[in-house]
Chain A
C-alpha cells in the first residue's frame, strides 16, 4: 500500500489521448486492398473446385480425378489467404471451422455417406466437411487412382459418394460467396467506420482474430499439435492435408506468408504497402521512443519462414524422421506469438479477448 502511494506523482499515462494514428486508413487498406481481394481470389478458386467436382462426379475417370485433385490443392492453398479473417459474417457462419477442421473424421464421413443423410450446417459435422473431408475422398480412399475412381463408379454406394463430394464442394463455395457478398455489401462500410479503440472496435476485434489465428490455427494447428508440443507424443496423423501427404509444408508456408503480408499491409494484388499493424507500430514508436517492434516482428517472420522451408514437404515424414527440426520451427513461430500477442497488443492498448477455455 505504501509503495503505491509513493509512486502517485510520477505515474503518467504517456499514450492517453496522444494516439492519433489513422485507424480508418488502416481499416480501409485492410478491407479494400487485402481482405476483399483475397476473398475474391479464393471465391474464384472455390467455384473452380465446384465445377471440377461436378465434372468428376458426372464422369468419374482417372484423368478427371487428377484434374480435380490439382484444383482442390490450388483452392486449399488460396484458402490460407482468408482463413485469418474470422470476423463479421465469417464469424457468424463459423467459417474457418466449416472449411478446414482437421484431422477429418473418416469414419463419420463413411457413415454419413452410407446413410445419405447429412446437414453440414450442424456444428457436429465440422470434422466431416471442408477441404480435409475432400482430402479423404480424393486422396484417402485407396492407394491407386483406379481403386479411388471405383468408389465413384462400381461401388454399391457410388451415387452416395458422388453426392457427398458434390455437397462438400458446394458448401465451400456457398459459404465463401456468402462471406464475400457481405463484405461487398454493407459490411465493408460498417467495418471501416468502426474506428473506436474499444473491445468492439474493428481494429481491436480483427487484431484479436489475427493473433488468435496465428497462435491457434497456424502455430499450433499446422505445426505444434502434430509435433507433439501439446501432448505426450507426436501426433503426425494431425497434420493438415494428411491424405495428400506432401503439401503440409506448402500450406503452412502460404499461411505464414499471408499473416506476414497482412502484418505489413501488403496489397493482395501487387507489392505496394498501406497502413498496417507495422506502420501503426512505427507510428507508436515515434511517440514512445522504444524499440522498433515492427521490424523485430518482420524479421521474426523471415526467421520462421526459413525454418519452415528447411522441413520436409511432408510433415508426417518430418515428424517421423527428425521431429526436433519440426519443434525448432515451432519455436520460431512461437517467438512471434509473444511479440504479437504481448508486445504489439500492449503497444496498441488492445486487450486480448480470448482465453484458453477451461475445458468443459
Chain B
C-alpha cells in the first residue's frame, strides 16, 4: 500500500509548508487549490452532478427492492433497472420523473465498451439475471431451508440470508457488482478518460472560458464533476467536504466502502488521497494545466480500483475463514459480497496499462471457479486463497493487509 500513500503524504507536506497565510494553496505553477471542493465563476458554483445522484439513488432503491418478497416482481425490478421517464417505478417521485436510468450506463464507458458492444450486452444481461434469479428462484423458496442446489434461507449469526441454489445472494452480487459496472466504469473509464474530457473542442473551450450552453461550467469542468458525483453523489454527502461524513453517510456504494477501507490502518489516508486528487485535478482544469489534471486521474484510478480490490479480497478471505472453521453456510454472505466485488474488478483501471488490474479473462475464470458444481457449497479454501493472491499481486498490497 505504500506506493499509493506517498503522493498524498508528499503533497500534503508540501502544501502545509506554504499554506500558512491562506487556506487556499498555491502550488509552484500558481494553481489555486481550494481546501474544499468549491469552484465558482462569477460568485456562482460551477459544480453540478444531479444525474449521478439520480443514478445512485435508483441503484440504492433497486437494491433495497431485491428483498421486497411480498410485492416486487421480475417486471417491477427490471423496470427500475431500465427506467423510462415518467414510469412509476420508484417510491421517490423525483426518480420517476427522471429520464435517466441505470441500465444505459452499465458497462457503457468510452474506454472499455465503445467498441465492445458484445461484452457490454453480456454484462447488462448478467445484472438482469441477478434480478430474474432473485424473483424466480429465491422468492419462491422464501420459507425453505437452503441446501446444495436448493435456494432458500441460511442463518448468518442471528441474521437470515436468502441464497440461490449455489449459495449466492443475488442482491449482494447485484449491489457490489454495480459499484464496478456503473460507478467505477463511468467514473474511471468514461468521465476521467481523455476521450471524454478532451472530446471535440473541450480543451479549446475550457481554455477560452466558453461555457456549456446556459450552464455556468465548461464542458470539461462538468465531465470532471460527473466523475466526482459517482463517488460523492449520495444526497447525504456534502459536496464541498465529503470526507466529513466518511464512514457516517447513508451511502452503501463506493463511498461507503471507501470509509470501510480507509478505517483499516493498512489503507489509512486513501480517502484523503482520492479527495485531494479530485480537488487538485478540478483546480488544474480551471487553470488549464492538463498535465497536472492527468496526474490526478492516475491517482484516482489507482485509489478507486484499490477500494474494489481490497473489499473483494477481504470478503473472499472472510468466507474462507468461515469454511475453514466448518461453518460453510456462514460463509455465503461474505462470499456473495466478494463475488460482487470480484465482478466489479473488471471495471477497474490500472493507469500504467489503461486496462483492468486483473484481466477480464482471468476474472471470468475466477467467477467460474466460484460457481462450479454447487457453487459456494463446494468452493475450497485453496480456490479462495488463489483468487485472493492473484488480485493482491496485481496491486501493491498483500492479502493479509486486505483481509483484516
Contact = CB atoms under 8 A, between A and B. Distances in A.
Interface of A: 88, 91-92, 94, 97, 101, 119, 121-124, 126, 199-200, 205, 353, 357-358, 360
Contact of A124 (B160, B324, B326): B160
A357 B337 CA distance: 13
B327 interface: yes
B321 A126 contact: no
A122 B146 CA distance: 9
B327 A123 contact: no
Contacts of A101: 158
16 contacts: A88-B326, A92-B327, A97-B155, A97-B158, A121-B145, A122-B143, A122-B144, A122-B145, A122-B153, A123-B145, A123-B154, A124-B143, A124-B153, A124-B160, A126-B158, A360-B252
Contact of A353 (B144, B321, B326): B321
Interface string B152-185: 0111011111000000000000000000000000
B260 interface: yes
Given A94-B155, A360-B252, A123 B321 contact: no
Interface of B: 143-145, 153-155, 157-161, 252, 260, 321, 324-327
A184 to B, nearest CB: 19
A199 B321 contact: yes
B325 A200 contact: yes
Contact of A123 (B160, B325, B326): B160
B160 to A, nearest CB: 4
Contacts of B325: 91, 199-200, 205, 353
Given A358-B260, A360-B252, A123 B324 contact: no
Contacts of A121: 145
Contacts of A94: 155
Contacts of A91: 325-327
Q: Give the dominant DSSP class at A's interface.
A: loop
Nearest to A198: B324
Given A92-B327, A119-B145, A353-B321, A126 B260 contact: no
**Which of A88, A119, A200, A358 is packed against the most chain B CB atoms within 10 Å?**
A358
Contacts, number: 42
Contacts of B252: 360
A348 B327 CA distance: 24
Contacts of A119: 143, 145
Nearest to B324: A200
Contacts of B160: 123-124, 126
B230 to A, nearest CB: 20
Contacts of B153: 122-124
B326 A357 contact: no
Which of B154, B160, B252, B327 is most buried by chain A, counting CB atoms within 10 A of its CB? B160
Given A88-B326, A124-B153, 8 more contacts: A97-B157, A121-B145, A122-B153, A123-B155, A199-B325, A200-B324, A353-B321, A353-B325
Nearest to A101: B158
B162 to A, nearest CB: 9
Nearest to A124: B160
B266 to A, nearest CB: 15
Q: Which 3 A-B residue pairings sit nearest by Cβ, starting from the closest? A: A123-B155, A123-B160, A94-B155
A212 to B, nearest CB: 10
Contacts of B157: 97, 357
Contacts of B154: 123
A250 B161 CA distance: 34
A121 B153 CA distance: 10
Contacts of A126: 155, 158, 160
B280 to A, nearest CB: 25
Contacts of A123: 145, 153-155, 160-161
A353 B325 CA distance: 11
A152 B160 CA distance: 32
A123 B160 CA distance: 6
A199 B158 CA distance: 22
A92 B323 CA distance: 11
A73 to B, nearest CB: 24
Nearest to B152: A122
B401 to A, nearest CB: 15
A94 B326 CA distance: 13
Contacts of B327: 91-92
A50 B310 CA distance: 50
A226 B357 CA distance: 48
Contacts of A92: 326-327
A126 B154 CA distance: 12
Contacts of A124: 143, 153, 160
Residue of B154, B155, B159, B260 contacting most chain A CB atoms (<10 Å): B155
A343 B372 CA distance: 43
A307 B289 CA distance: 67
A88 B155 CA distance: 16
Nearest to B311: A358
A124 B154 CA distance: 9
- Identify which of A92, A122, A123 gathers the most chain B CB atoms within 10 Å of its CB: A123
A35 B107 CA distance: 55
A345 to B, nearest CB: 15
A70 to B, nearest CB: 29
A51 to B, nearest CB: 28
A101 B159 CA distance: 11
A97 B158 CA distance: 6
A199 B326 CA distance: 12
A249 to B, nearest CB: 23
Contacts of B145: 119, 121-123
A353 B155 CA distance: 18
B330 to A, nearest CB: 8
A251 to B, nearest CB: 18
A124 B142 CA distance: 9
A129 to B, nearest CB: 13
A27 to B, nearest CB: 16
